[in-house]
Amino acid sequence: MNTILDGRFQIIKKLGQGGFAATYLARNLSSPEKSPCVIKHLKPRVQHPRVLQLFQAEARVLDLLSHGRIPNSTECFERNGEMFMVQDFVAGADLGKQYLRGRNWSGIEIRDFLLDMLEVLTHVHQHHIIHRDIKPENIIQRSEDNRYVLIDFGAVKELNADESSADALVVGTAGYRSPEHLRGEPGFASDIYGLGITTIQLLTRTHPSRLTRVDDKLSWRENAVVAPELASIIDRMICPQVADRYQSTQEVIADLQQLPDSAMTAEADLPPAKTNPRAPWKPLLFGTLFTFSLLAAAGVYCNFQFTDSTPQGIGQQL
């Protein structure tokens, strides 16, 4: 693509397409290094009056949060009646791509992933903000340090803001939204739910829409290799009843930190016992040699006994 936007941003390629906006990788031609950035292009605002509010809220929230693992919004501008937002570019791969590649996650990797993401969510929630769209595609494992970065605050909810029309627009992604979110009553526990569903998807390598539910509870353990202690924490993260779920990220962190490394490894995760490929014939060889030794000793003994008891006359006659 060779489009130059606003005379400053050269569009390189399309990164994604959502319900309300498209994102592009671009090069900032006005910077000395011509550094890469992300351009978010809002679809025509006439679709729904709430869409523009969400777009503006995302820009406002990104400026407010200012966290090392949340991209900054550098500017917003309008051209020909359409809105654009410029954000920091994060080099790395989102977890949706890792899920498609079928990566096997160990218990320790899952615990570290959860602690990493819960740290970011703690910062978000402390600013009275709910992300409302936690899913693998919105989490990037950064190339430079392998840390996890939370992106796409396009469905964000500010608890202190006046959002009387919030229920008129469905936001978030099917399969990751909690029951209370679907009722239009999201809270901090809703983000914990989305993170729990994301974790299950990584462990089972199965999209949540393809997992079954038993008595309104997601059935997933039989499709994953995970230690029971860790699975119990994940189950509490996704409890259908919000009252039974973790109420804060700090509660989840506390339980995860109490788990020793030994509790992170399921029995099926353990490597097979090392064996020597030549070992099977060794017992047979040793047994054979031992048998021959016994037979030889018995033969010598019998020969000695026979010779010692032979009458002298017979021997001389022969």
Residue with tokens 């791969």: 93
- Residues 41 and 179 both lie in one domain: no
In a domain, 32, yes or no: yes
Residue 221: CATH number of its domain: 1.10.510.10
CA–CA distance, 108 with 256 (Å, rounded to integer): 10
CA–CA distance, 4 with 27 (Å, rounded to integer): 9
Q: How far is CA 203 from CA 5, 102, 210, in A?
A: 41, 10, 14
Q: How far is CA 164 from CA 20, 48, 168, in A?
A: 20, 14, 9
- Residues 44 and 170 both lie in one domain: no
What is the pLDDT at residue 51? 84
pLDDT above 50 for 91: yes
In a domain, 300, yes or no: no
Residue 311: band (very low, low, confident or very high) from pLDDT cuts 50, 70, 90: very low
Dihedral angle over CA of 46, 49, 53, 59, nearest 10: -10
- The C-alpha angle with vertex 163 and arms to 160 and 169, in degrees rounded to 5, equals 135
Number of domains in the chain: 2
What is the pLDDT at residue 62? 95
In a domain, 290, yes or no: no
What are the backbone angles phi and psi of residue 232, rounded to the nearest 5°? -65, -40
In a domain, 291, yes or no: no
What's the whole-number mean pLDDT along residues 142-149? 96
Residue 269: band (very low, low, confident or very high) from pLDDT cuts 50, 70, 90: low
In a domain, 111, yes or no: yes
CA atoms within 13 A on the CB side of 92: 24
Domain that holds residue 186: 92-269
Average pLDDT score, the chain:
83
Please name the amino acid found at residue 92.
G
How many C-beta neighbours within 10 Å does residue 259 have? Answer: 17
- Residues 249 and 218 both lie in one domain: yes
- Residues 207 and 179 both lie in one domain: yes
- Residues 133 and 192 both lie in one domain: yes
- Residues 132 and 246 both lie in one domain: yes
In a domain, 27, yes or no: yes
Q: Please, what's the b/e burial string for 80-89 (b: 16 or more CB within 10 A of its CB; e: otherwise)?
A: eeebbbbbbb
Point out the residues that are catalytic: 133
In a domain, 197, yes or no: yes
What is the pLDDT at residue 17? 85
The pLDDT tens digits of the residues spanning 221-249 come to: 999 999 999 999 999 999 999 999 999 99
What is the pLDDT at residue 260? 86
C-beta separation of 142 from 92 below 8 A: yes
What's the whole-number mean pLDDT along residues 57-79? 93
User: H or E segment at 96?
Assistant: helix 95-100
In a domain, 306, yes or no: no
* Of 276 and 12, the one with more pLDDT: 12
Q: Which of 69, 88, 107 is the last residue of a domain?
A: 88
The pLDDT tens digits of the residues spanning 33-65 come to: 888 999 999 976 546 778 888 898 999 999 999
- Residues 42 and 107 both lie in one domain: no
CA–CA distance, 227 with 107 (Å, rounded to integer): 7
Paired tokens of 45: 């605002």
C-beta separation of 231 from 238 below 8 A: no
What is the pLDDT at residue 305? 44
- Residues 220 and 159 both lie in one domain: yes
- Residues 55 and 174 both lie in one domain: no
- Residues 26 and 174 both lie in one domain: no
- Residues 44 and 112 both lie in one domain: no
Please name the amino acid found at residue 270.
L
Residue 314: band (very low, low, confident or very high) from pLDDT cuts 50, 70, 90: very low
- Residues 114 and 61 both lie in one domain: no
CA–CA distance, 273 with 217 (Å, rounded to integer): 37
Residue 38: CATH number of its domain: 3.30.200.20
